[in-house]
């Protein structure tokens, strides 16, 4: 009876070990392919160019419209950046008071 119990225990330990090994392999594969192999973040200019290209395909924009859209995107991006910086400065002033 003792040999049967010890064999079951060894078998369960082996099953848990193999299951852990398989789960670790799948987890490692997921992390390496999903997180570390992810594309590098794009610059604002690259994002803007891609968006203009998308809209050109969808809306059949002319070259003049593309240029206006690109200029509008730059203006909007620069304005929002300046507003964020201004808000941070104001927040710092109020925090000191």
pLDDT reading at 94 higher than 70: no
- In 1-97, alpha helices (H): 2-31, 44-59, 63-96
pLDDT class of 10 with cuts at 50, 70, 90: very high
pLDDT score for 97: 44
pLDDT score for 16: 97
Higher per-residue pLDDT: 18 or 67: 18
pLDDT reading at 95 higher than 50: no
Closest CA to 77 of 32, 46, 34: 46
**Radius of gyration in angstroms for the set of CA atoms belonging to the chain, rounded to a whole number:** 29
For the stretch 37-46, pLDDT in tens is 777 778 878 8
Higher per-residue pLDDT: 9 or 74: 9
For the stretch 43-90, pLDDT in tens is 878 888 888 888 888 888 888 888 887 777 666 666 666 777 776 666
Which of 45-76 are b and which e, b meaning 16 or more Cβ less than 10 Å from the residue's Cβ?
Answer: eeebeeebeeeeeeeebeeeeeeebeeebeee
């Amino acid at each position: 009876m003792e040999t049967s119990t010890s064999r079951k225990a060894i078998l369960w330990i082996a099953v848990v070990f193999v299951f852990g090994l398989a789960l670790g392999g799948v987890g490692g594969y997921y992390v390496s392919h999903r997180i570390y192999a992810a594309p590098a973040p794009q610059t604002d200019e690259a994002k803007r160019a891609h968006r203009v290209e998308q809209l050109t395909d969808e809306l059949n924009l002319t070259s003049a419209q593309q240029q206006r859209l690109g200029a509008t995107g730059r203006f909007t991006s620069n304005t929002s950046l300046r507003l964020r910086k201004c808000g941070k400065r104001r927040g710092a002033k109020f925090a000191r008071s």
